[in-house]
Structure 1
Amino acid sequence: MIKNKTVLLLFLIVALAGFLRFWQLDKLPPGLYPDEAANGVNALQVLDNADFKVFYPENNGREGFFINLQALSVQVFGTTPWALRAVSALVGTLTILIFYFLLKELSAHIKKIEIFENLASTNFALLGAFLLAVNSWHIHFSRIGFRAITLPFLLSLAALFLLRAIRTRKTKEFIISGFWWGLGFYSYIGFRLAPLFGLVIFIFDSATWFLKKEVSFKKFLTQYIILGISVLITALPILGYFLSHPEDVSSRSSPISVFAAENPIIQLAISLGQTAIMFNLVGDWNWRHNAAGSSMLTYISGILFLVGILILIKAVIKSIKQKDLASSFPLVFVGAWFVVMLMPSFLTREGMPHALRSIGAIPAVIIFSTIGLVWIWKRFAANAKLAQKANFLLLIILVAISVENLHKYFIAWGQNEALPYAFRQDLTKIGDFLNAYDVSSGASQKYIIVNEYGVELNGIPVPSATIRFITGENPDIHYLKPEQLSQIQVDPENPIMVVFTAPNDSNLENELYKLFPSVQKIQEQIIYYKII
């Protein structure tokens, strides 16, 4: 009966997570940001050439796992923003399920802390899964077509099987864990620091082995060597790519590194401070990443997060006094995950604090919050006056957390007037208009003048990517830079359409009139020019 109840609750939590990540995904976020669309352009190229890559060097370089999944989605659902973002929503939803099993495995270690010795592992895991399911930070990136959402998913899998391997000492668990660690290198640049987290766990496990010696040293060391080999074999294709293309290893991170600053130490201190306050005080200012400036955690979640940290620190201090190494493992595990996965953020100096680069820390943040919540729940239950109402009070807290997070994402952020431009809805409208124009007016040639800056995607600034993807790389649509305006070829028999990605550019408009005196400016759903 208890098992069936647990399965039902887990199903409901995962279903809720899926609903929150897929609901109105075709409308929110609005538009399609060029970085998302660049993935889509690569996905179209994959489908055209049947060439799935481990790394896509365009647009500052992106690992291939997510883009290859998006290619499969585009194959099924077409060239729509939904097709790109549905992959994120699916990965985000599956992360909740994996996170449940991770917490269930971790609870065996948390029970070694005196105040949690009677903790039911399923309760702990269900509460943590629920907190992640409704967390606005995780929901946010589960609804955007950025590859970063695969990091918490794959790292949770790697950590889950590493914990299983440590508990069971079965070689197959080490092999499976190694596979997920290796696959993580195909996810997001931040995963490249994840081995530091794994190294901390190995060192702690080595210290535990030295004290207990439950298995032979040969078996202990051999299993970790096997894990390393599993990682290496899985990651070999992308490692081979980087060996042959070393310029792509740091193409994205080098210019924004704190070590590129005039005074790296001061810059590192500033970045650390900005990262430290992002959870409870001032968060990411980028509207694509967050309700600008609001803390990454809502009020109640933020308090639980701090309580959880304090509880684990207190447990470690006590374990040191009692020389009980096992009780300090939860803080070592969660703390190492938290710090290492914040490094991709605080080792940079651009756009700080940075919610996207910190995405790998979300599971650790939720574990801290879950520990804080369980501690408060236990305190209620231990109080004679509150014991009978403990479960009701827990329910009230969960409802309040849900309301806070859903209000933040769907209302405070989702209804803000800054979103259409943040996700370049104007470019999406151009793509939609061109598709409709094709249907109604036939084979007119169209020229898109990309009169804004950006890294280049196949020789054209990346803002063009949104239009390229929405129109399915239509061969009748040509993309030019402003200085290439003279390359427009007039067709005496058919009108030519010209569209600026950034409209109302008077200088560029004057140049167009000089080259083509017969041009007409037309404003419908978009502003465009017709050369007759």
Structure 2
Amino acid sequence: MALFLRVYQINTFPNGCQSDECNNGMDALKWLNGRLYTPYAETNEGQATLFTYLIAFMFKLAGVGITQMRLVSAIVATLSLLAFYFLARELFDWHIALPTTALFAVSRWHLTFSRIVYELIMVPLVESLLFLFLIRAVRYGRRRDWAWTGLMLALGMNTYTAFRIVPFVVGIFLLYWLITHWQRWRETIEGSLVMAAGGIVGVAPLGVYIIQHWAVFIGRTRHISVFNDIENAGGSLKPLWDNLDKVLWSFHWRGDLAALNNLPGAPLLDVVVGALVILGLAYMLRHLWRPLPFLSFTWIIIVGSVVVLSVAHEAPTAPPHRPAARHLPVGGPGPGSCLGCLPDRVAVARRRTGAPRAATAGDPAFPARPAGVGAVRRRGQRRHLLQQAGQGPVGLARGQRAGGRDRRLSA
């Protein structure tokens, strides 16, 4: 259904081909015609080329055309839903993951950008995978999860310009994790080194380009900075405060007026998701010391700053929705935190009334019990039962029966 919503009449809606879309298609044709590989190009004031190479691959398979280009966006967007579901399931359980992913699947902004040829549509996919592996890394401590986290960071650097702020979010969270889980400092530092190694390997081609063409790589960031407006205003901070005002209103009241990005003037969030995001934000602030609320709140502040610090002329009457569209992992954990805290609140009410507490599959404040601990505990209990029962045939059988009961109770 999600794919259908993104490909239905994709050759008609939206109509025509916007300039950035055409530029991406022209780059794809260059790659097909034998242009030497480069991880970054000066197209559209500078952008990574991964997305245009995917377009070139689609041209190779299905021919050249606007529909083929937009199919790349639609497929990537649909994969984002799958990745986001696994992220939400890791954080909570499938009961929460399904409705949260469904809300994401029908969100207007994601449907809009999944039908046009902008490289930013890759960011929700990469960010969902990045935080999935990061959460699994700190929760279970497996090196492969740390390595995948680093590779996802490197992959993200090859997607969209504004992704460059994401490593700061990861760094702040790992510092928080190191302080609050100091007993596991050795494991965290070792994992961070594995993550860094994976990131360096993955970003190596882009890193070489950055060293050789720093001015090109940083050019767009300088061009779209709000500090240009501040300078033109004689040092006044009014452009910055205007941007902040637009951002705060855009989510629930008045959004982007550009028809290509949004229904002109419509808020970024609908009524249901908007209410859940507010409740989720309240929950984050109430439990800010917990890992997930801390990560989500840090994400809101740092990633939101990208929108506030963007130059205003791209959308004179509203904040640029292209950077704002990167708020997927916030839009998910916001409603998810709200929905996910319900089992926890029910459990608290049960304890207050003396009712037995039911086990819940997920808690918004990860980490959960590391994988394998339950099995180790059951083996230890079984050995204890065997020691109590004795080592004779009768005692052994008695111990095995008791161990079986214990396994069933703890399963």
Fold similarity call, TM over 0.5: yes
Question: TM bucket by the smaller chain?
Answer: 0.7 to 0.9
For each residue in 1:100-150, what CA deviation from the matched residue of structure 2 results, as whole angstroms up to 9, or x when unmatched? 11112222xxxxxxxxxxxxx111111211111111111111111000011
Q: Which residue of 2 aligns with 1:252?
A: 220
Q: Which residue of 2 aligns with 1:404?
A: none
Instruction: Quote the offset at 1:264 in angstroms.
Output: 5.9
For each residue in 1:354-383, what CA deviation from the matched residue of structure 2 results, as whole angstroms up to 9, or x when unmatched? 111112212211321233355679999999
Q: Hey, what's the Cα distance between the residues in 1 that align with 2:306 and 2:25?
A: 25
Q: Hey, what's the Cα distance between the residues in 1 that align with 2:311 and 2:69?
A: 29
Q: Could you say which structure has the larger radius of gyration?
A: 1
Instruction: Quote the offset at 1:311 in angstroms.
Output: 2.1
Q: Which residue of 1 aligns with 2:138?
A: 166
Instruction: Quote the offset at 1:288 in angstroms.
Output: 0.9
Q: Which residue of 2 aligns with 1:234?
A: 202
> Equivalences for 1:168-207 in 2 at 5 Å?
168-207=140-179
> Equivalences for 1:13-52 in 2 at 5 Å?
16-49=1-34, 51-52=36-37
Residue in structure 1 matching 2:330, options 360, 364, 367: 364
Q: Hey, what's the Cα distance between the residues in 1 that align with 2:152 and 2:320?
A: 26
Q: Hey, what's the Cα distance between the residues in 1 that align with 2:57 and 2:345?
A: 49
Pair 1:52–1:273, CA change in 2 (3 A)? same
Which stretch shifts more, 259-268 or 288-297? 259-268
Q: Which residue of 1 aligns with 2:260?
A: 288
Instruction: Quote the offset at 1:200 in angstroms.
Output: 1.8
> Equivalences for 1:105-504 in 2 at 5 Å?
105-107=90-92, 121-210=93-182, 213=183, 215=184, 217-260=185-228, 261-262=230-231, 263=235, 265-316=237-288, 325=289, 328-350=290-312, 351=315, 352-373=318-339
Instruction: Quote the offset at 1:153 in angstroms.
Output: 0.9
Q: Hey, what's the Cα distance between the residues in 2 that align with 1:177 and 1:193?
A: 15
> Equivalences for 1:519-530 in 2 at 5 Å?
none
Given that 2:96 and 2:336 are in contact with CA atoms closer than 8 Å, whether structure 1 keeps it comes out as yes
Pair 1:49–1:284, CA change in 2 (3 A)? same
Pair 1:300–1:219, CA change in 2 (3 A)? closer
Q: Hey, what's the Cα distance between the residues in 2 that align with 1:306 and 1:183?
A: 31
Equivalent residue letter for 1:285: L
Secondary structure of 1:249's counterpart equals helix
Q: Hey, what's the Cα distance between the residues in 1 that align with 2:341 and 2:216?
A: 46
Given that 2:255 and 2:268 are in contact with CA atoms closer than 8 Å, whether structure 1 keeps it comes out as yes
Q: Hey, what's the Cα distance between the residues in 1 that align with 2:332 and 2:253?
A: 17
Q: Which residue of 1 aligns with 2:396?
A: none
Q: Hey, what's the Cα distance between the residues in 1 that align with 2:190 and 2:347?
A: 45
Equivalent residue letter for 1:29: P
Q: Hey, what's the Cα distance between the residues in 2 that align with 1:101 and 1:344?
A: 27
Moved over 6 A (4+): 376-383
Q: Hey, what's the Cα distance between the residues in 2 that align with 1:208 and 1:136?
A: 38
Given that 2:225 and 2:310 are in contact with CA atoms closer than 8 Å, whether structure 1 keeps it comes out as yes
Pair 1:382–1:224, CA change in 2 (3 A)? closer
Equivalent residue letter for 1:329: P
Q: Hey, what's the Cα distance between the residues in 2 that align with 1:219 and 1:372?
A: 31
Residue in structure 1 matching 2:78, options 93, 97, 113: 93
Given that 2:48 and 2:158 are in contact with CA atoms closer than 8 Å, whether structure 1 keeps it comes out as yes
Q: Hey, what's the Cα distance between the residues in 2 that align with 1:98 and 1:301?
A: 20
Tell me the TM-score normalized by structure 2: 0.78
Given that 1:151 and 1:359 are in contact with CA atoms closer than 8 Å, whether structure 2 keeps it comes out as no
Pair 1:377–1:276, CA change in 2 (3 A)? farther
Q: Hey, what's the Cα distance between the residues in 1 that align with 2:51 and 2:298?
A: 26
Secondary structure of 1:35's counterpart equals helix
Q: Does 1:71 align with 2:39?
A: no
Equivalent residue letter for 1:59: N
Q: Hey, what's the Cα distance between the residues in 1 that align with 2:143 and 2:38?
A: 31
Q: Hey, what's the Cα distance between the residues in 1 that align with 2:348 and 2:70?
A: 45
For each residue in 1:149-190, what CA deviation from the matched residue of structure 2 results, as whole angstroms up to 9, or x when unmatched? 111111111111011111110111101111111111000001
Equivalent residue letter for 1:155: E
For each residue in 1:64-94, what CA deviation from the matched residue of structure 2 results, as whole angstroms up to 9, or x when unmatched? 1111101101112222111111111111100
Given that 1:53 and 1:68 are in contact with CA atoms closer than 8 Å, whether structure 2 keeps it comes out as no
Q: Hey, what's the Cα distance between the residues in 2 that align with 1:374 and 1:167?
A: 18
Given that 1:52 and 1:68 are in contact with CA atoms closer than 8 Å, whether structure 2 keeps it comes out as no
Gap regions ≥5 residues in structure 2: 350-411
Q: Which residue of 2 aligns with 1:53?
A: 38
Q: Hey, what's the Cα distance between the residues in 2 that align with 1:56 and 1:193?
A: 20
Secondary structure of 2:274's counterpart equals helix
Pair 1:171–1:17, CA change in 2 (3 A)? same
Instruction: Quote the offset at 1:32 in angstroms.
Output: 0.8
Instruction: Quote the offset at 1:290 in angstroms.
Output: 0.3
Equivalent residue letter for 2:210: F
Pair 1:247–1:173, CA change in 2 (3 A)? same
Which stretch shifts more, 185-194 or 220-229? 220-229
What's the Cα RMSD here? 2.2
Give the number of aligned pairs: 341
Q: Which residue of 1 aligns with 2:87?
A: 102
Secondary structure of 2:329's counterpart equals helix
Secondary structure of 1:253's counterpart equals helix
Given that 2:129 and 2:152 are in contact with CA atoms closer than 8 Å, whether structure 1 keeps it comes out as yes
